[in-house]
C-alpha cells in the first residue's frame, strides 16, 4: 500500500500506448514486473523480478566513474576494454548510481504506481479504443503475480467500458484465475512446449500447471487465444506443432493459435542488466520461416496469425 493515501500500488515497468499487438484494435499494454518463469529467450528480462532493475547503457556512458565511486556495493566493474558493467548479483538497487549519472546512461526500470495513475493513462486513449475496437491489455512478466493490482486494473477498465485482455504464462494457482476471469474479455495464453521436461529446461518450470489451467480456462466461457513462441532448436519441429494442435483441439473451445517467431530484440537488455544472454547469436526468425508450421495448424481447423 502507498503510505500516503493507502491506495493499492503495483510495480510497472512500461505502459505502451497505441499498441497494435496483444489483442484486437488499438491498445494500451500495461507491463507489470514479476514472472515465475525464466525463459531462455525472454525479450523482457527486466520483467522477471518484482523489484526494480538498473539499466546501464554503455553507449551513453562518458566514463566519468561517478557511479563507481558512489556505489556502496562495489557492483559496477570495468573490464579490459573499459566497458562498465553492473554485477546484478551484487547490486542492492539503492539507486545512488542513477542519481549521480550525468549522461543518463543509468536508468531505474520499474516504478511503483497507483491504480488511479494507471487508469488515468488507460482512459486517455479511450477514443482510439472505441474507434478500433481496442482496449487495455495486461502483460509482463506475469500479471497474476500482482493479482490484486491486476484485478483492480481490470475492474476499473471494465467500469469505463474498455475491452480487457491479459497475456499470461499460465503458471499460477487456479484461485487467482477465479478472481480475474469475471473482468476479462480475452486471455492470450502462452503455451510454449508440450513436453514437461523440455519445458522445464527452457523455462525453469514444468508445464503441468500450465496445461491444467488451460483445460479449466477452455471450460470457463472466456475467449482464449493460444500463443506459441517459436524458438529454433526448442519447439519449432513439426512434431512439436502437431502435439500442440492435438492438445488444443481436444479442448474443444479454442479457435485460434498465434505463432510468435523468435527475435533477438531483447539481447541488448541482458548486457545492460549485467546478465548473460544464453541464446547468444541465434538468428531471428521471419514470417516465412514459420509458414510450414502455420499450414499444420490450419489443417486442424484453427485460425492462425503470425505475430502478436
Tens of pLDDT, residues 177-213: 999 999 999 999 999 999 999 999 999 999 999 999 9
pLDDT, position 2? 43
- Is the bond preceding residue 141 a cis peptide, omega within 30 degrees? yes
- The three grid cell numbers given for residue 281, joined into one nine-digit string: 547469436
What are the extents of the domains in the chain? Answer: 9-50+111-306, 53-109
Q: pLDDT tens, 120-142?
A: 999 999 999 999 999 999 999 99
Classify domain 53-109 at the CATH class level: alpha beta
Contact 224, 254 (CB under 8 A): yes
CATH 3.30.1220.10 fits 9-50+111-306, yes or no: no
Give pLDDT, residue 56: 87
Provide the percentage of residues in the chain whose pLDDT is more than 70. 98
Distance CA 307, CA 299 (A): 19
| Exposure on the CB side of residue 273, measured as CA atoms within 13 A | 20
Q: Between 133 and 82, where is the model more confident?
A: 133
Instruction: Give the number of other CB atoms < 10 A from CB of residue 68.
Output: 16
Task: Report pLDDT digits (tens) over 90-105.
Answer: 888 888 999 999 899 9
Per-residue pLDDT at 1 exceeds 70: no
pTM for the whole structure: 0.90
Q: Is the pLDDT of residue 308 over 80?
A: no
Decide if 163 contacts 24 (C-beta within 8 A): yes
What's the half-sphere exposure (Cβ side, CA atoms, 13 Å) at 296?
17
Q: Which of 25-34, 92-101, 281-290 has the highest mean pLDDT?
A: 25-34
**What is the per-residue DSSP string for 147-210?**
HHHHHHHHHHHHHTT-EEEEEE---S-HHHHHHHGGG-SEEEEE---SSHHHHHHHHSS-SHHH
Average pLDDT, the chain: 92
Look at the block and give the residue holding cell 509458414: 291
Amino acid at each position: 500500500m502507498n503510505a500516503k493515501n493507502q491506495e493499492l500500488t503495483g510495480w510497472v515497468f512500461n505502459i505502451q500506448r497505441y499498441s497494435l499487438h496483444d489483442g484486437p484494435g488499438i491498445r494500451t499494454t500495461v507491463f507489470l514486473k514479476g514472472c515465475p518463469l525464466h525463459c531462455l529467450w525472454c525479450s523482457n528480462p527486466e520483467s522477471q523480478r518484482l523489484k526494480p532493475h538498473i539499466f546501464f547503457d554503455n553507449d551513453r556512458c562518458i566514463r566519468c566513474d561517478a557511479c563507481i565511486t558512489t556505489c556502496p556495493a562495489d557492483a559496477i566493474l570495468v573490464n579490459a576494454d573499459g566497458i562498465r558493467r553492473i554485477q546484478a548479483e551484487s547490486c542492492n538497487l539503492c539507486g545512488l548510481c542513477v542519481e549521480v549519472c550525468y549522461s543518463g546512461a543509468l536508468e531505474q526500470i520499474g516504478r511503483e504506481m497507483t491504480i488511479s495513475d494507471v487508469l488515468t493513462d488507460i482512459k486517455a486513449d479511450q477514443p482510439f479504443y472505441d474507434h478500433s475496437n481496442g482496449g487495455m491489455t495486461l502483460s509482463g512478466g506475469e500479471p497474476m503475480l500482482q493479482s490484486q493490482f491486476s484485478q483492480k486494473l481490470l475492474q476499473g477498465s471494465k467500469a469505463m467500458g474498455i475491452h480487457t485482455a491479459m497475456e499470461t504464462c499460465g503458471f499460477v494457482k487456479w484461485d487467482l484465475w477465479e478472481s480475474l476471469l469475471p473482468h476479462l474479455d480475452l486471455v492470450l495464453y502462452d503455451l510454449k512446449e508440450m513436453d514437461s521436461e523440455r519445458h522445464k529446461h527452457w523455462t525453469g518450470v514444468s508445464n503441468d500447471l500450465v496445461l491444467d489451467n488451460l483445460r479449466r480456462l477452455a471450460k470457463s466461457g472466456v475467449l482464449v487465444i493460444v500463443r506459441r513462441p517459436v524458438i529454433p532448436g526448442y519447439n519449432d519441429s513439426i512434431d512439436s506443432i502437431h502435439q500442440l494442435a492435438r492438445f488444443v483441439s481436444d479442448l474443444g473451445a479454442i479457435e485460434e493459435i498465434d505463432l510468435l517467431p523468435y527475435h533477438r530484440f531483447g539481447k541488448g537488455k541482458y548486457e545492460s542488466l549485467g546478465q548473460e544472454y544464453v541464446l547468444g547469436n541465434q538468428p531471428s526468425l521471419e514470417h516465412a520461416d514459420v509458414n510450414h508450421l502455420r499450414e499444420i495448424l490450419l489443417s486442424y481447423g484453427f485460425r492462425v496469425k503470425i505475430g502478436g
